Amino acid sequence: KAGVTQTPRYLIKTRGQQVTLSCSPISGHRSVSWYQQTPGQGLQFLFEYFSETQRNKGNFPGRFSGRQFSNSRSEMNVSTLELGDSALYLCASSSRQGARETQYFGPGTRLLVL
């Protein structure tokens, strides 16, 4: 099975712009989670989607949003970019929602905000 794929792998944006990141989960997986990784804050949970519905949300401002499509692919959007949004954004997929589920990660999208 192909793993989790994320596009694009690298992005450079300027402050105030918006960005959309894409994630394709492992075939058959219906849950997609997003995480932000920065040197200062480490790995932080953004949100989880299951069956096209947001099930859990982390402590991030409303500028961070996401959605999931009927084929389980997911996108996250960040509006009005700030310098502090520079990070590695990781997507993870699992078969179902739940604490016993194993999450498999993609390679990430590295976002640089100038």
Q: Which is nearer to other proteins, 17 or 60 (CB)?
A: 60
Minimum gap (Å) between residue 6 Cβ and other proteins = 8
Q: Is 105 in a helix, a strand, or coil? A: strand
Minimum gap (Å) between residue 94 Cβ and other proteins = 9
Minimum gap (Å) between residue 107 Cβ and other proteins = 4
Residue 60 in the binding site for other proteins (CB under 8 A): no
Residue 64 in the binding site for other proteins (CB under 8 A): no
Enumerate binding residues for other proteins (CB under 8 A): 4, 6, 33, 35, 42-43, 45, 48, 55-56, 58, 90, 92, 97-108, 110
